[in-house]
Amino acid sequence: MLIDWFTVAAQIINFLILVGLLKHFLYDRIIRAMVEREGRIRARLEEAEKKEKESDAEAEKYRRKNIEIEEKRKGILEKARGEAENQRIELTQKARQEVENLRTRWRESVQREKTSFLRELKQLAGHQVYAVTRRAIKDLADENLEERAVHVFLKKLENMKREEKNKLAEAFKKDGNKATVRSGFELSKSQRQQITRTLHEQIENDTEVRYEMDTEIIFGIEVKSGGEKLAWSLEGYIKALEDQTRVALEKEAEAEDAEKESKEITNGEEIREEGSR
């Protein structure tokens, strides 16, 4: 008999026990481990996906930021360019202003030089005219020029209108009955007496008269008191000479200025061209 029924029963029991043992030691443990690993891997994948999304978002953020920075940079550049342009214009204007100032200063200094030259010329011309005139009058009329001047001055005093005389008299009084006579040359004693007497007669009796010599006057006599003044001098003649000289000089200066200005305009244009470059 190939089949031993006791063995069959024993094998059935053995098999069932083996099923139970393997369920406990093999299948359940292995399946649990696999499920757990699967879960972990899925979690990890999900996390990776999440991180990828996050990193994508981050990348997008940085890309946007970069664009923003680029725009900002462009804005700043544009602004700087505008500022530089403004600065250039301002500087050009300043330079032009400076040139203008320099020119004004130069003109002023030329004016000053002209004025001082004219003053010197006036004095020199006055002296020369005085010297020439005195000699000429002396030679021709054999008469002292200074005496003629005193004579003319006195004549002028006498020929004054009444109101003028009164005005002068009041000025004398205001100054405490004092008057000053200034002349461009030394007056002799008799001349002084003559002038004093005439003043007493014509203007005010008790006036105290002081005499001064002033080379500025060059040739002439004047009486001064309390702001009023009566004068006769070579000044008027010299004035005419001065005027004529000045006119001549100014004409010359204007011609020079016109020439200079035309030169400056061309220079200014050159400066502007360089700036725009």
Applying CB under 8 A, the residues found at the interface with other proteins are 2-12, 14-19, 21-23, 25-27, 29-34, 36-37, 40-41
3-state SS, 13-59, equals HHHHHHHHHHHHHHHHHHHHHHHHHHHHHHHHHHHHHHHHHHHHHHH
CB of 34 to other proteins, least distance (A): 6
Q: How many CA atoms lie within 13 A of 148 on its CB side?
A: 14
CB of 78 to other proteins, least distance (A): 57
| Complex with other proteins: residue 2 or 255, whichever CB lies closer | 2
Strand 228-233 and strand 220-225: the pairing is: antiparallel
Q: How far apart are the first and last CA of the chain?
A: 122
CB of 45 to other proteins, least distance (A): 13
Q: At 206, list the tokens.
A: 């008790």
| Complex with other proteins: residue 37 or 210, whichever CB lies closer | 37
For residue 161, the one-letter residue type is K
| Complex with other proteins: residue 34 or 132, whichever CB lies closer | 34
| Complex with other proteins: residue 43 or 77, whichever CB lies closer | 43
| Complex with other proteins: residue 32 or 65, whichever CB lies closer | 32
- Integer Cα distance of 232 and 224 in angstroms: 12
- Integer Cα distance of 150 and 232 in angstroms: 9
| Complex with other proteins: residue 34 or 80, whichever CB lies closer | 34
CB of 50 to other proteins, least distance (A): 19
List all residues 6 or more positions away from 33 whose beta carbon is below 8 Å from its beta carbon. Answer: none
CB of 40 to other proteins, least distance (A): 6
CB of 66 to other proteins, least distance (A): 39
